[in-house]
Amino acid sequence: MPEKLLDIKNLRVVYKTDNDLIYAVNGVDLSLEKGEVLGLVGETGAGKSTIALSIMKLLPAKVGSITDGSITFDNKNLIDASEADMRAIRGNDISMIFSDPMSSLNPLLTVGDQIAEVIEMHEFDLSSGEIRKKVDDMLELVGIPHSRKHEYPHQFSGGMRQRIVIAMALACNPRLILADEPTTALDVTIQAQVLKTMNELKEKMDTAMILITHDLGVVAQMCDTVAIVYAGEIIEYGTAEMIFEGKDHHPYTVGLFNSIPDIKSKARRLSPIDGLMPDPAQLPKGCRFAERCRYCRDVCREKEPGTHIFDDGHMIKCFLFERKEAIGRR
């Protein structure tokens, strides 16, 4: 039986500002097995990064807070973990890769010193020589000559900086990596190289990963399972095959796919999803997607849709499939 590494139940997160209470994550359930890659897909502001920051307990102090739910990692309750416990977990058991490598690296320290710092914080039994050797190995592992370890971040290209961040994230062999749009700032060629590096390292180290992205092409290349996130909720979940090849989808998922250029068709214009996500400080009463949905009915504006789970485990949160269940699938 697969080993469950991460289990999130009914996670709710709010941000408190001077004027509003922002409902960023609203009842998210997720689980991740050892070695699995889960893609979190959705528009900017959907709550994807907040989910990752909640796992790391890195929400902005006095602004962001977890109001409900549980986060269990390797049978440890992270919600109740102390800051000292989380410092031991971050970088060692769970690492995070951010979208902008330049803001993740210290411009005043060499890249070798920054990788060494991660190792020193968690592997206390290593000598200085062993740490230097491991720094060299990590740089070579991500395709950077170890002779460049004495150079500073500004001396590297964007793709190489991202590889250095990946080396830092993998330095202590974590069991879970949270990759928050790790290729957004890169051009297509470098993006392909970085994704290939991440995939090879994941396979080599058997590391689980949550990949946060809005790029469905990246999801198809990297992910085993996919969760579609909208307004702080997971509205569709399934294997990558279910999401990309299945016939049943949430209207929002259909809109995401229709927004991608199709090389097989000669359409003159893309088909974007009309409208905007609801204000997270004033979420609507019923379905969060109702005002943008072509299939919207009165019930969608009045009631929150239930979760429909098909026999194969594919989950969709939409009234369309409650009705479909009642009349039978065609």
DSSP state of 1: -
Q: Return d(Cα 234, Cα 316) in angstroms, integer.
A: 9
Please give the model's pTM, rounded to 2 decimal places: 0.89
Please say whether the beta carbons of 54 and 71 come within 8 A: yes
- pLDDT tens by residue, 250-289: 999 999 988 877 777 776 777 778 889 999 999 999 999 9
Coarse DSSP helix, strand, coil percentages of the chain, rounded to the nearest 5 percent: 35, 25, 40
CA atoms of 136 and 300, how far apart (whole Å) = 57
Task: Report the C-alpha gap between 49 and 64 in whole angstroms.
Answer: 12
| Residue, of 234 and 181, whose pLDDT is higher | 234
More confident residue, 185 or 18: 18
The rounded radius of gyration (Å) of the Cα atoms in the chain is 21
CA angle (23 as vertex; 215, 232 as ends), nearest 5: 30
pLDDT tens, position by position, 279-296: 999 999 999 999 999 999
If pLDDT is split at 50, 70 and 90, which confidence band does 326 have?
A: very low
Bridging pattern class, strands 208-213 and 37-41: parallel
Contacts of 38 (CB under 8 A, 6+ apart): 30, 32, 208, 209, 210, 211, 223, 224, 225, 226, 227
At 323 the pLDDT is 55
What is the predicted pLDDT for the residue at 327? 34
Assign 135 a pLDDT band (cuts: 50, 70, 90): very high
- What average pLDDT does the segment 156-170 reach? 88
